[in-house]
Amino acid sequence: MKQERLRNIAIIAHVDHGKTTIVDKLLRQAGTFRSNEQVADRVMDSNDLERERGITILSKNTSLVYKDVKINIVDTPGHADFGGEVERILTMVDAVLLLVDAFEGCMPQTRFVLKKALALGKKPIVVVNKIDRPMARPAEVIDEVLDLFIDLGADDSQIEFPVVYASAREGYASLDPNVREGDMRPLLDAILEHAPAPEGDADAPLQLLFSNIDYDEYIGRIGVGRVERGSVKTGDSAVLCHRDGSQERVKITRLYQFEGLKRAECDSASVGDLVAVAGLNDLNIGETVCNPDCIEPLPFVKIDEPTVSMNFIVNNSPFAGKEGKFVTSRNLRERLFKEVETNISMRVEETDSADTFKVSGRGELHLSILIETMRRQGYEFQVSRPRVIYTQDEQGRTLSLWNCLW
Ligand code: GDP
């Protein structure tokens, strides 16, 4: 059964290639905003740190309705340090929009996510943005994209990707690289045509797979995922299947879907829908909620293990207390343990010293982003040098996963 009224897509883009602008224009084209609604100019805006690093760190969901079809748009993190997350985010979608600057062409930061998307069989749609730039070189950029696809092992159908030329800033898109006017409808039409509608049986017993965890000051932990089979209503009893094999009876008390930039509470959702569920306090990423009469959890996508660790230590140097607002061991502890609730491939451990916490992550970037985020939030602390984590295989050989990432 196909859900013809639904499309789930992810956007892959290098920073500054126009993702925020294009999502904003698509939402406007679809009339997602009421005319009197105040819209922040930059809808999928990244935080400062993302901008400086050239990658998306968090992933956000947006949706619009065009020609009676709901299009969910998911943002993707863009670096190998976030590998585990990327795979899970991509399980929510059926197609990816690869957004490329018509002058700059493909950039290395997007390579990793694109590779994962192609390997998972997602349907690519290439958008050559900033076609208005005087130096635009769309034909060469398409050649580069094609070379990259071949290099990354795209299959035949993926190599025959559709291309849409756009100027997100000027608000037009076209299948013809020479067009410099119009609106964004050609891109929305291309999404309806080329992104596969989700498939599945809406009448079968529920399977809801959570791929992301969000956190809200007021409602707490929120699971974000996709209904893989059946449907779900508020008030339903269900069984949450944990990673360790244990099961928990739960009730779906608060269900949301994405509407524009917001989470909107809803009564029900069906196969293919992306939903958010609040109230499941022990939920972890990769876990499934099932119908109590048919408990069939989906296979758990392995979370990548940490490869590097560092100690985070209360600042006891002569300069202590000069920069930060949050300086105590309790501040540091609370902040770090909060981080691991949503940052799934990160680990925090207590040590012999109450002032020192061992933090392990996927790579230097993963850890340095946490350090920098905390610094900007007013935390003051010291860190040790990063150490590579070693493990042993069955033959007793010492291995490090660290250099396997690349
Ligand atoms: P993001 O980092 O991918 O979200 O990119 P933004 O949407 O923030 O865009 C980065 C910059 O490129 C901004 O200054 C935009 O105004 C500009 N920009 C976006 N789309 C276009 C376009 O189609 N043409 C031109 N010339 N500039 C654009």
Contact call for residues 271 and 3 (beta carbons, < 8 A): yes
Residue from 11, 15, 16 whose mutation best tests the ligand 1 pocket (most atoms within 8 A of CB): 16
Q: 274-278 and 254-259: which strand pairing?
A: antiparallel
Average pLDDT, the chain: 88
Q: What is the pTM of this model?
A: 0.83
For residues 105 and 103, give the distance between their C-alpha atoms in angstroms, rounded to a whole number.
6
- Please count the other Cβ atoms lying within 10 Å of the Cβ belonging to residue 307: 24
Residue spans of the domains in the chain: they are 6-194, 207-290, 308-405
CATH number of 207-290: 2.40.30.10
- Please count the other Cβ atoms lying within 10 Å of the Cβ belonging to residue 201: 11
Which atom of ligand 1 is nearest to 133's Cα?
26
pLDDT 10s digits, 338-357: 888 777 788 999 999 999 99
Q: Which residue has the higher pLDDT, 340 or 58?
A: 340
Same fold, 6-194 and 308-405: no
What would the mean pLDDT of 34-40 be, rounded to a whole number?
A: 53
E-strand ranges in 180-246 read 207-216, 220-229, 231-233, 237-241
How many A from CA of 356 to the centre of ligand 1? 43
CB of 236 sitting under 6 A from ligand 1: no
CB of 11 sitting under 6 A from ligand 1: no
pLDDT 10s digits, 241-268: 998 899 999 999 999 999 887 889 999 9
How many A from CA of 14 to the centre of ligand 1? 11
Atom 19, ligand 1: residue with shortest CA distance: 18
CATH number of 6-194: 3.40.50.300
CATH number of 308-405: 3.30.70.870
pLDDT 10s digits, 203-247: 999 999 998 887 777 887 889 999 999 999 999 999 999 988 999
Which one, of 191, 177, 178, lies nearest residue 29 by Cα?
A: 191
SS3 category, 307: coil
Atom 28, ligand 1: residue with shortest CA distance: 169
How many A from CA of 9 to the centre of ligand 1? 20
CB of 212 sitting under 6 A from ligand 1: no
Pick from 92-101, 197-206, 212-221: least confident = 212-221
